[in-house]
């Protein structure tokens, strides 16, 4: 099946094609050639525009001086869309270096002083509107949390009690964000433990971005959901870019968002975590 379209890629002397893990959205392959190795993302039955947002995010990372995969080529074969990247060899490294790298990412400010991105967020089960706006609440609450809440109700993953708890928590989130000055900076957008790696020389790199210009606390909140970031990471981050006052109160907002994404994508196994986070927000922001 792969042989039917692999020869359509802009590569010469392909010696081996190995399927590897690529998340829940893409098929992914390591391609070894006479000139080196490459990482290929492939999406069947899609046009070349499918990867436009990811390419723009990787270019933004490059401009910000963030170590991430480099775009080699993108396009469309007879079977679907592809994105060809340089292959990064894994190694081991220090969480403190990772913390400094993420802090450096968050020092890259929005080019127009607004929140958003030139392309929407497109996942396997949901898309979010990233049109530019002056309001972080508009982008985060109206276009992300509310969209997720509507989907969870439609899929009957929420009870009427969950809906009421969300409405109460939403009021708390909006009020808290109104008293906090959010600054639009470059975010990874999906910064869980599987989306960073250390290279063979120990350098940290960020992979698989869902880039958007938003409040940096979204990335920080996401790091706390599934682990993979140690106290060393947070200390190094804070030394390079101190946390804003009251950040502990706001991080649950972003944990809630990420857990709602997973509840929508994977189903009821995340229902308890979402409900617990909603209750936490309701209690802690009274």
Calculate mean pLDDT across residues 54-65. 96
Instruction: Output the pLDDT for position 94.
Output: 98
Instruction: Output the pLDDT for position 123.
Output: 75
Instruction: Output the pLDDT for position 261.
Output: 96
Question: Is residue 24 pLDDT above 80, yes or no?
Answer: no
Summarize pLDDT for 152-202 with one digit per residue, the tens.
999 999 999 999 999 999 999 999 999 999 999 999 999 999 999 999 999
CATH of the domain at 236: 3.90.1200.10
Do both 182 and 54 map to the same domain?
no
pLDDT band of residue 22 (cuts 50, 70, 90) is: low
Share of the chain above pLDDT 90, in %: 86
Summarize pLDDT for 25-41 with one digit per residue, the tens.
778 999 999 999 999 99
Q: Indicate if 24 belongs to the active site.
A: no
Do both 114 and 178 map to the same domain?
yes
Instruction: Output the pLDDT for position 284.
Output: 67
Q: How far apart are CA 88 and CA 107, in angstroms?
A: 25
Burial string for 149-175 (b: 16+ CB within 10 Å, else e) reads bebbeeeebbeeebeebbebbbebbee
Do both 257 and 161 map to the same domain?
yes
Question: Is residue 12 pLDDT above 60, yes or no?
Answer: yes
Do both 147 and 271 map to the same domain?
yes
Do both 226 and 260 map to the same domain?
yes
pLDDT band of residue 224 (cuts 50, 70, 90) is: very high
The one catalytic residue among 13, 32, 162, 190? 190
Residue 74 domain boundaries: 3-86
pLDDT band of residue 21 (cuts 50, 70, 90) is: confident
Q: Output the average pLDDT for the chain.
A: 94
pLDDT band of residue 4 (cuts 50, 70, 90) is: confident
Do both 154 and 191 map to the same domain?
yes
pLDDT band of residue 276 (cuts 50, 70, 90) is: very high
Q: Is 246 helix (H, G, I), strand (E, B) or coil?
A: coil
Do both 124 and 182 map to the same domain?
yes
Global pTM reads 0.94
Do both 260 and 189 map to the same domain?
yes
Do both 81 and 99 map to the same domain?
no
Summarize pLDDT for 65-93 with one digit per residue, the tens.
999 999 999 999 998 999 999 999 999 99
- Indicate the residue among 54, 86, 118 that finishes a domain: 86
Question: Is residue 240 pLDDT above 70, yes or no?
Answer: yes
CATH of the domain at 74: 3.30.200.20
- Indicate the residue among 64, 86, 108 that finishes a domain: 86
Number of domains present in the structure of the chain: 2
Do both 60 and 137 map to the same domain?
no
Question: Is residue 286 pLDDT above 60, yes or no?
Answer: no
Q: Where are the beta strands (DSSP E) in 45-113?
A: 71-76, 80-86
Tell me the CA distances in angstroms from 114 to 12, 106, 124, 176, 212, one per residue in order. Answer: 43, 14, 27, 20, 11
Q: How far apart are CA 152 and CA 257, in angstroms?
A: 12
Do both 46 and 104 map to the same domain?
no
Do both 148 and 81 map to the same domain?
no
Q: How far apart are CA 190 and CA 277, in angstroms?
A: 19
Sign of the torsion formed by the C-alpha atoms of 167, 173, 176 and 182: negative
- Indicate the residue among 37, 68, 86 that finishes a domain: 86
């Amino acid at each position: 099946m792969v042989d039917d379209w692999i020869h359509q890629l802009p590569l010469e002397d392909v010696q081996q094609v190995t399927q590897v893990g690529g998340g829940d959205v893409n098929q992914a392959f390591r391609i070894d050639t006479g000139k080196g190795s490459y990482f290929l993302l492939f999406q069947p039955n899609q046009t070349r525009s499918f990867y436009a947002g990811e390419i723009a995010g990787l270019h933004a990372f490059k401009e910000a001086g963030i170590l991430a995969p480099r775009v080699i080529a993108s396009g469309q074969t007879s079977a679907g869309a592809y994105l060809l990247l340089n292959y990064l060899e894994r190694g081991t490294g220090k969480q403190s270096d990772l913390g400094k790298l993420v802090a450096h990412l968050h020092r890259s400010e929005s080019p127009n002083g607004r929140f958003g991105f030139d392309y929407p967020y497109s996942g396997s089960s949901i898309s979010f509107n990233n049109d530019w706006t002056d309001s972080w609440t508009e982008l985060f609450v109206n276009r992300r949390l509310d969209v997720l809440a509507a989907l969870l109700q439609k899929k009957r993953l929420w009870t009427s009690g969950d809906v009421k708890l969300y409405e109460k928590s939403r009021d708390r989130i909006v009020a808290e964000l109104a008293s906090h000055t959010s600054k639009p900076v470059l975010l990874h957008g999906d910064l869980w433990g599987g989306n960073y790696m250390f290279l063979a020389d120990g350098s940290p790199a960020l992979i698989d971005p869902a880039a958007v210009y938003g409040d940096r606390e979204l990335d920080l909140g996401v790091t706390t959901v599934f682990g993979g970031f140690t106290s060393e990471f947070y200390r190094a981050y804070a030394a390079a870019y101190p946390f804003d006052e009251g950040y502990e109160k706001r991080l649950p907002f972003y944990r809630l968002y990420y857990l709602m994404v997973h509840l929508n994508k994977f189903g009821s196994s995340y229902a308890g975590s979402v409900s617990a986070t909603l209750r936490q927000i309701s209690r802690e922001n009274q």
